[in-house]
Amino acid sequence: MSELHHECGIAAVYHLPGEASPMCPDAGPDEISRLIPRMLLDIQNRGQLSAGMTGYNPDRRWILTTHRDVGMVSEVFRLNHKGKAEAVMKKTVGRAAIGHVRYATCGAEDRSYAQPFERKHIQKGKWFSFGFNGQLANYTQLREQLLATSDNHLTCDNDTEIIMHELGRVMSLETPERQIPLAEVWRRVAPKLDGAYSLVMLNAIGEMLVVRDPLGIKPLCWAKEGNLFATASESVALLNLGFRAESVKSLGPGEYISITADGTFKIDRFAPVRSPAHCFFEWIYFANVASTMDDRGVYISRSRLGEELARLETVPIDEDTIVVPVPDTSKAAADAMAYKLRVPSREGLIRNRYSGRTFIEGKASRRQKAEAKYTPLREVLEGKRVLLVEDSIVRSTTMQVLLTRIRELGGAREIHVRVASPPIIAPCFYGIDMSTVGELFAPKFLDQGLLTEAAQDKMAKQLGADSLRYLPVDAISRAIGLKPTELCQACITGQYPTPCGQELYQIALDNTGKSGRTYETATV
């Protein structure tokens, strides 16, 4: 599934007034921002194009200081050079900070699109910085509304800038006598947004706001022990700071956490209670396998998917049959499948972790990168009947390369592809970079949208596999342990949880075969 582009990740820390936290002996209350690079490393899986942070220090001339750039976390924060890393930390040091890792679901791949986005202002309450994870399905509509007035101008082609302008618009209503609290600002902005998001925000007064979209499509975890508060897209970033597991919680859909300048901590709602629509891809692919989100462990969910695959298996099992995962996120499913089938699970593919990111290259280069990314082990694969387990197949380029290399270089006798998810039949408009129907592998093979055995046989032939089998849709909710109505499964069902998402899907169907991302070219 290396063809599927990652989304983004956010993090934030705040040392409330009081003594230094015992969890952070190397970072005093006024230097708690030093924790942000550590947290971003733990969620690097969510975005590898750029990284950044904003630190808050009221004793500094630049109360909010932002450092951001294109590159991995270690590159942006110069973590391999002690002196340069310390220079970055000294520039951004403070008692509160927010951080971000990004992959470009929309917008360009340059420094100006790296987050956090900072908006400077002479009034401290209107000087703010924020990081955003998600995608607005009504981005085009909001953009047109903003540009309808000739006084407005956008410099970036992404929804993060749209949100920044919406926040600034509400803040412009403030008077010297009445500052609008960040929570109230968000209450006024949120009703205009259709889509998925989690967001961390910090202003020059020292107020912090953490929000999760009303459907909880994007994950967001938080913890508070003593004077230390932290939040991140995944629980693993909080556990590795030293928070106890019982202290780590998921922020509820439509909820916010606010911290005022005097340290007042509050959790409240900004949207009515609704049935959630958590993105199921978080459990099967995006999230770190060590994370827990909405009280559901990622590792356990992936293991259950493997058990579902085992129950459906019909290929004859003999002493030459092995299960092989496509590294790395398929391993839990493959191990569980092999255990149920009582056959060995072998690492017949070794991933070269230093081969680079295949998704930032052109089409020809993507194939070449895929060839360099995985090395088949002939001593494991030769003469074997291989059950190759993958998370999902999006565009099929990587899978076709893998099958060719496993057969030619690995010497496998048979290759049976087993996909630990249903076929992707519809685009995502909520933060995963697949927005057109034409780029997807499965839809062209399905018979009126139905996943038949004949359709899977045709797909197997196209890929070069001996057989191909997907999981049914109902297997996802069983594996995760949530009701189907509590999950966003739009990309495997075509049923979207927001109105603009459903409208964009119809536009995507009408535009099948055309180039360009649907949410960048459509008028909703």
**pLDDT averaged over every residue in the chain:** 90
Write the pLDDT tens digit of every residue in 413-428.
999 999 999 999 999 9
Which residue among the candidates 8, 24, 428, 500 is catalytic per the annotation? 8
Indicate the pLDDT class of residue 159, thresholds 50, 70 and 90. confident
Indicate the pLDDT class of residue 173, thresholds 50, 70 and 90. confident
> Per this entry, what is the length of the chain?
524
Q: Domains of the chain (ranges plus CATH)?
A: 9-274 (3.60.20.10), 298-521 (3.40.50.2020)
Indicate the pLDDT class of residue 132, thresholds 50, 70 and 90. very high
pTM (2 decimals)? Answer: 0.91
Spatial distance between the Cα atoms of 136 and 519, rounded to a whole number of angstroms: 9
Per-position b or e across 214-240, b if 16+ CB within 10 A of its CB:
bbbbbbbbbbbbebbbbbbbbbbbbbe
3-state DSSP percent of the chain in helix, strand and coil, to 5 = 35, 25, 40
Indicate the pLDDT class of residue 26, thresholds 50, 70 and 90. low
Q: Which whole number is the average pLDDT over 60-76?
A: 95
Q: What's the confidence (pLDDT) of residue 3?
A: 46
Catalytic residue list contains 8: yes
**Of the listed ranges 1-15, 34-48, 329-343, the one predicted with least confidence:** 1-15
Write the pLDDT tens digit of every residue in 256-293.
999 999 999 999 999 999 999 999 999 999 899 999 99
**Percent of the chain's residues with pLDDT above 90:** 74
Q: What's the confidence (pLDDT) of residue 435?
A: 65
Write the pLDDT tens digit of every residue in 222-261.
999 999 999 999 999 999 999 999 999 999 999 999 999 9
Where does residue 361 rank: exposed (0-12), middle (13-18), buried (19+ CB within 10 A)? middle
Residue 225 vs residue 110, higher pLDDT: 225
Which residue bears the tokens 């197949």? 393
Which two structure tokens, joined as six digits, stand for 79?
Answer: 């973590």
Indicate the pLDDT class of residue 523, thresholds 50, 70 and 90. very low
Measured from the Cβ of residue 375, the count of other Cβ atoms closer than 10 Å reads: 16
